Structure 1
Amino acid sequence: MSKFAPGTPMDANMKLTSRQYYEHTGQNQEELLTDKITYQKLIGKLLYLNMTRLGISFSVQTLSYFLHQPKKSHIDAALRVIKYIKRQSGQGILLSSDCRNEVTAFCDADWVACTLTRKSVIGYVIKFGNSLIYWKAKNQTIVSRSSVEAKYRSIASNVTELIWLIGLLKDLKAEVH
């Protein structure tokens, strides 16, 4: 990793693995961290910061998967997220003063993203007017057979959230287009 702050919170080509992955494949194991409490506290702080920093959602979700048995590569990846945040300190969620009552949503899936479980990661965002109001990145609950199936499941999760959100907005007497 470069000594300069990264342009992304996580290297796109990095595949983090657990100790069980090494046991299953028979590859050389990387040392577990002796002080996992520090890693757990760091990830907890990143989860809290995730509320206002959309750009780290996927990275923090991925790193939180290894809370019980973190390795050196996991702490290195977490420190990369910290360096990214430090470099992007002015970034965050900006709420627009635009009064458009239009709800828009975007979603995507990363098929077979988890090397251990072979589950896909889905992500989606929902905007009200020009303001981002909801986002999520998570592992799917089952293994998808294709990238199309993974994307279909992402869409289904997004639509479920949209239905709930539109119902809430109608209960609050907000006009929605």
Structure 2
Amino acid sequence: MGMMLTLFQLLNKVCIRILKSKHFGLRYFLGIEFARNKEGILLHQRKYALELIPDVGLAGSKPVHAPVELNQKLTTVTYDDHLGLNDDSLLEDPGAYQRLIGILLYLTITRPDIFFTVQSLSQFMQAPKYSHMKATLRVVRYIKQSPDLGILMSVAESTQLKAYCDADWVACPNTRKSVTSYLVQFDNSLILWKSKKQSTISREAEYRSLASTVA
């Protein structure tokens, strides 16, 4: 790593001298923007998010302050059929839902605040219903409220590693499985986060969540 950095610095000096240019650092890469300030480097996808909003017809919509409705439980068609529910039909164009989920998954690179919701919605890509699309569009309205949120990579000199985990017991109404969520911080910088269904049904959901975090 040290040798690569030295070679980069040498190449940078040569280019500046020959081309009479200046090096301002990385600003934009694959839809991710890098903004430097005295606190560190902010990684965000503001441009990517702002382009998404009119693409899905929500340019004139009202922003919301949460990516998901309180106590909302999304179900599969199989689950609805089992309970005799028929007030929520399949989407005529599942491809539109699948494309939107793909875009939102890419946004989670710098938006851990929507990761849990998008991960949950991605489970219905095979047979999405109108309720799933409505919930997905709500995520876009939430993004509209704060399109420039991102991850700050702090310049503070610290080596403290912190991890947080939790579990939502029997969170999935379709499988009765619990959901594990965790995040890891290095100093004040968020470096890892994940949310997934547990592989087994267990009353010890919190212990399994802790085990996944430290594994």
Q: TM bucket by the smaller chain?
A: 0.7 to 0.9
Q: Is 1:99 equivalent to 2:157 in the alignment?
A: yes
Q: Aligned to 2:154, what secondary structure does the other structure show?
A: coil
Task: Give the TM-score of the pair, scaled to structure 2.
Answer: 0.70
Task: Give the TM-score of the pair, scaled to structure 1.
Answer: 0.85
How far 1:21 sits from its partner (Å)? 0.3
Larger Rg: 2
How many angstroms apart in 2 are the aligned matches of 1:128 and 1:54? 15
How many angstroms apart in 1 are the aligned matches of 2:207 and 2:62? 38
Deviations 1:98-141 (A, max 9, x none): 11011000000000010000001110000001100000011111
Deviates most, 127-136 or 23-32? 23-32
How many angstroms apart in 2 are the aligned matches of 1:27 and 1:13? 19
Identity %, equivalent residues: 50
Aligned equivalent of 1:23, options 61, 70, 81: 81
After TM superposition, what 4+ stretches of structure 1 lie above 3 angstroms from structure 2?
none
Aligned equivalent of 2:101, options 43, 50, 62: 43
Contact 1:106 1:124 in 2 (8 A): yes
Flag structure 1 segments of 5+ consecutive residues without an equivalent.
161-177
How many angstroms apart in 1 are the aligned matches of 2:93 and 2:148? 32
How far 1:4 sits from its partner (Å)? 3.0
How far 1:72 sits from its partner (Å)? 0.6
Contact 1:19 1:29 in 2 (8 A): no
- Give the structure with the higher percent strand: 2
Contact 1:31 1:71 in 2 (8 A): yes
Flag structure 2 segments of 5+ consecutive residues without an equivalent.
1-60
How many pairs align? 155
Deviates most, 30-39 or 85-94? 85-94
How many angstroms apart in 1 are the aligned matches of 2:100 and 2:123? 13
Q: Aligned to 1:82, what secondary structure does the other structure show?
A: helix
How many angstroms apart in 1 are the aligned matches of 2:70 and 2:167? 14
Aligned equivalent of 2:213, options 158, 169, 174: 158
Give the structure 2 partner of residue 127 of structure 1. Answer: 185
Structure 1 residues 102-117: aligned runs within 5 Å: 102-117=160-175
**RMSD, matched Cα:** 1.0
Give the structure 2 partner of residue 71 of structure 1. Answer: 129
